[in-house]
Amino acid sequence: MEPVSLRLGRRVLPEFSVMAVVNRTPDSFFDKGATFGFDAAMAAVDRAVAEGADLIDIGGVKAGPGDDVDVAEELRRVVDTVAAVRDRHPDIVISVDTWRAEVGAAVAAAGADLLNDTWGGPDPELAVVAAEHGLGLVCAHAGAQEPRTRPHRVAYGDVLADVIGHVTAEAERAVALGVRRDGILIDPAHDFGKNTRQSLEISRRLDEMVATGWPVLVAVSNKDFIGEALGRPVDKRGVGTMAVLGVSAWQGARVFRVHDVAGARAALDRVAAMRRAAP
């Protein structure tokens, strides 16, 4: 398939786009709730925009196991934040990390541009919501794991073939439902339904995902596969994160979900310059 352009909100996104993580959760694995409060979240958004973020990804539910967060609580955490970010930063692309269609509809009304379903489509109505509201959609692969569960003895004949088969099928389904083709990204979802070896295999072969033509989103920032591969705790994975970002960018990934916006922006700008200069 020919490469698909990427248009979200008011913007056609550049070669490499930085997606800043802003978690409205008290128990995030990385920041431990640093942006749970509304004012702290808005300050983080302002800082990310100043540092060069192209997208802001707002999440209301911790990815891993933890306290139950029902729909009402997720809505309380994210809807007002989306509305405030839209008012303060009219041109920024706003993404919401959710797998729930009800949440998707509410944040669409509040001004979101993209629904980031990291769990691989457990609620098939989410794509319908994206189509109805003209939003973009992230189609990810989690190996059919239930949301907020950790992988346990997962096995694939060929992990990347499984990933590509799932995400491209979800992308085509979304197009058939009416989601704009240029508003869809595919995400291998490192660590979601995958062990460290499988996540590393995906990183080595990411160019095979890029070859599908769908824009690829990479969300590896400070993840467990980096920590296990390098023997580093969660607060010491910055260098490993930048290494994986560089490898992914060189292979053609388009959007990079990160905690360190300034570091990622600098690294990706250098990779872009090297790619332009390469024979």
Structural domain harbouring 29: 7-277
The Cα diameter of the chain in Å comes to 54
CATH of the domain at 185: 3.20.20.20
pTM value?
A: 0.97
Partners of 186 in beta bridges: 139, 216
Q: Are 262 and 51 in contact (CB under 8 A)?
A: yes
The counts of H helices and E strands in the chain are 10, 10
Which pLDDT value is given to residue 5?
85
User: Per-residue confidence at 2, pLDDT binned at 50, 70, 90?
Assistant: low
Q: How many domains is the chain built from?
A: 1
Strands 114-117 and 55-59: unpaired
Phi/psi of residue 137, each to 5°?
Answer: -145, 135
With respect to residue 2, please indicate whether it lies within any of the assigned structural domains: no
**176-214 pLDDT tens trace:** 999 999 999 999 999 999 999 999 999 999 999 999 999
Question: What's the whole-number mean pLDDT along residues 81-98?
Answer: 98
Judge whether residue 34 has pLDDT over 80.
yes
pLDDT digits (tens, 9 = 90+) for 219-272: 999 999 999 999 999 999 999 999 999 999 999 999 999 999 999 999 999 999
Residue 187 inside a domain? The answer is: yes
Q: What three-state secondary structure class fits 232? A: coil
In a domain, 75, yes or no: yes
Retrieve residue 261's tokens: 């916006």
- Residue at 1 is within a domain: no
